[in-house]
Amino acid sequence: MTTINPNKKMCTLINVFTAEPSKQKELFDSLVQASEKLMSKMEGYISAKIHLGNDGKTVTNYAQLASQEHYQKVLKLPEIMEHLKTSAALAINFKPVTYTTIWTDGE
């Protein structure tokens, strides 16, 4: 389950993809499948949320891992690299950024 707690240090990945409208849903489905079949099995995995943008072209992946080190290890796995290539091929561009410091207000 996704937890946003400024007192709990973890690695949050926010990866924003832009796709042609005709590829948006395919990219979304690819990210969901990879999250269910690959990422959820990885050491340090906490959660993932995939968002399909109402603009018809954006897909955002919000994922949490136990640490930045876990994220770096995942990036070295061949099956993850294959998934990343597939996602990149469906996107016009993408920007993955990891975060460890957050602030939150409200529930």
What confidence tens digit (pLDDT) does each residue in 21-60 have? 999 999 999 999 999 999 999 999 999 999 999 999 999 9
- The share of the chain scoring above pLDDT 90, in percent, equals 76
Q: What is the pLDDT of residue 106?
A: 66
pTM (predicted TM-score) = 0.88
Other beta carbons within 10 angstroms of residue 57's beta carbon come to 17
Assess contact for 4 and 64: CB atoms under 8 A. no
What confidence tens digit (pLDDT) does each residue in 18-28 have? 999 999 999 99
What confidence tens digit (pLDDT) does each residue in 83-97 have? 889 999 999 999 999
Cα distance between residue 52 and residue 41, in whole Å: 23
- The share of the chain scoring above pLDDT 70, in percent, equals 93
Q: Is the pLDDT score of 61 beyond 80?
A: yes
Q: Is the pLDDT score of 8 beyond 80?
A: no
